[in-house]
């Protein structure tokens, strides 16, 4: 899965596409003015290459979806939420290395 194949979530589809899934969904909250967000997208693209089939990676443009930011307490970019069965099982802020993200995903997938 390349980064241009990431699912795109927003206020309108988040509940149906993320919270209703049983499998793990990695949600990348980003902003158009965030330079580290671009770095994280590259790392997520690398992580996605080795991803189990039941894991979905998607993005939320925080500039366009402030209600989701407030709902999940996202205060900075980039922020990753790891959601499984409708519950947040992990949260990471900032840019992590590929190995760190793979470990978090493996723990919860």
| pLDDT tens, position by position, 19-73 | 999 999 999 999 999 999 999 999 999 999 888 888 999 999 999 999 999 999 9
Provide the domain count of the chain.
Answer: 1
Cα 82 to its chain centre, rounded Å, is 7
**Catalytic status, residue 37:** yes
Q: What is the pLDDT of residue 4?
A: 56
Q: What is the pLDDT of residue 42?
A: 94
Rounded Cα distance between 21 and 40, Å, is 24
Look up the CATH number of the domain holding residue 104.
Answer: 3.40.30.10
Selecting among 1, 7, 34, 109, the annotated active-site residue is 34
pLDDT tier at 3, thresholds 50, 70, 90: very low
Question: How many angstroms separate the first and last alpha carbons of the chain?
Answer: 17
Q: Which domain holds residue 12?
A: 3-108
For residues 1 and 96, the model is more confident at 96
Length of the chain (residues):
109
**Catalytic status, residue 99:** no
The answer to whether residue 2 scores a pLDDT higher than 70 is no
Rounded Cα distance between 3 and 58, Å, is 9
- Look up residue 17 and give its DSSP letter: I
């Amino acid at each position: 899965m390349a980064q241009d194949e990431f699912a795109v979530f927003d206020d309108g589809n988040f509940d149906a596409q993320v919270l209703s899934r049983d499998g793990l969904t990695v949600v990348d909250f980003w902003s158009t003015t965030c330079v580290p967000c671009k770095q994280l997208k590259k790392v997520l693209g690398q992580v996605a290459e080795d991803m189990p089939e039941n894991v979905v990676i998607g993005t939320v443009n925080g500039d366009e979806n402030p209600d989701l930011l407030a709902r999940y307490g996202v205060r900075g970019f980039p922020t990753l939420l790891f959601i499984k069965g409708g519950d947040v099982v992990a949260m990471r802020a900032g840019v992590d290395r590929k190995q760190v993200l793979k470990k978090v995903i493996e723990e919860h997938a």
